[in-house]
Amino acid sequence: MIKRLLPAKAQRRVGPFIFVDHMGPATFVAGSTEGDVRQHPHIGLATVTYLFSGAMQHSDTLGTRQRIEPGAINLMRAGRGIAHSERIPVDIRQEQVQVEGMQIWLMLPEEQAESEPSFQHYPAALFPVMQVPGCEIKVLLGEYFSQTSVVSFPSRCCYAELKLDPCSNLTLPKSEQQLAIYLAKGSLKQPQLNAGQMLVMTDDLTVLAGDDGAHFMLLGGDAVADPVLLNWNFVARTPERLAQAKADWNSGNFPRLTDDPEWIPAP
């Protein structure tokens, strides 16, 4: 199951965040390929994968083979073109471990949209938990609550995980950036928000957790000027670039994983 928050009719993007998915929680049949995402291409964006539970196996056309587990960050910059697959590890299937997490796409700055692709893995130990009364905060990208992430990104953005104790409150710092909160679990009494909903912040915000606490993600950054075009797995500034990427992928004139014959055609 996927909860897709961005893009939406009411809100196309928040800062450079152009695509936000909440994956799972889900378990997968042992010996099957349920949950596997066959290799597919990207241009013009960066993918960020962050897990709450379980594990996934990332493979890409740079030769990367990287398992990601809860608390770590996988950052893949597509630039001018990269393909990758994401599969559920055998042990996770066999042990029926729930897989749950967030996958987001960030727009690359226009001057880096056609840059060389790259991949970085950041272990969970690199993201310390900040304790404030009634709340745990972990800054994953950018800067927030006077914490700066070790993850380097070429435009100003913010991505943080916050966990509030039941009925505790927290005033979110002011920011010039466009920000939103996504409630992954629990509830908020103020503002009233249920799990699976996103709120784009338009003013200062004090959040009050419900009786079951609140686990939410804060995300955003500097607003990105139009034109911004999103089609399938591609982000570009012109329709011609999107069409070229699709044609290149379907014709085989695009990097592909040589040890994986399965690929998803562009629609």
Kindly state whether residues 6 and 98 are assigned to the same domain: yes
Location of structure tokens 């379980």: 54
Residue 258 lies in a domain: no
Kindly state whether residues 158 and 59 are assigned to the same domain: no
Residue 236 has pLDDT above 90, yes or no: yes
Kindly state whether residues 214 and 176 are assigned to the same domain: yes
Angle at 178 between CA 174 and CA 182, to 5 degrees: 90
Contacts of 16 (CB under 8 A, 6+ apart): 106, 107, 155, 157, 221, 222, 224
Kindly state whether residues 211 and 235 are assigned to the same domain: no
Residue 66 has pLDDT above 90, yes or no: yes
pLDDT tens column, 23-54? 999 999 999 999 999 999 999 999 999 999 99
Q: What is the pTM of this model?
A: 0.95
Supply the pLDDT for residue 122.
98
Residue 182 lies in a domain: yes
Kindly state whether residues 120 and 241 are assigned to the same domain: yes
Q: Is the dihedral of CA 73, 36, 78, 100 positive or negative?
A: negative
Kindly state whether residues 57 and 77 are assigned to the same domain: yes
- The average confidence (pLDDT) of the chain is 96
Kindly state whether residues 137 and 18 are assigned to the same domain: no
Helix ranges, the chain (H):
90-94, 239-251
pLDDT tens column, 139-155? 999 999 889 999 989 99
Kindly state whether residues 22 and 73 are assigned to the same domain: yes
Residue 260 lies in a domain: no
Supply the pLDDT for residue 131.
94
Location of structure tokens 């139009």: 226
CB 236 within 8 A of CB 79: no
Residue 256 lies in a domain: no
* CATH (domain of 184): 2.60.120.10
Supply the pLDDT for residue 203.
83
Kindly state whether residues 113 and 11 are assigned to the same domain: yes
Kindly state whether residues 57 and 169 are assigned to the same domain: no
Residue 17 lies in a domain: yes
Location of structure tokens 């784009």: 200
Supply the pLDDT for residue 174.
77
Residue 3 has pLDDT above 80, yes or no: yes
Supply the pLDDT for residue 77.
98
Angle at 18 between CA 242 and CA 233, to 5 degrees: 35
What is d(CA 209, CA 195) in angstroms, rounded to the nearest whole number? Answer: 12
Residue 185 lies in a domain: yes
Residue bearing the bigger pLDDT, 215 or 173: 215
Share of the chain above pLDDT 90, in %: 93
Supply the pLDDT for residue 175.
82
Domain limits at 213?
128-221
Q: How many CA atoms lie within 13 A of 26 on its CB side?
A: 16
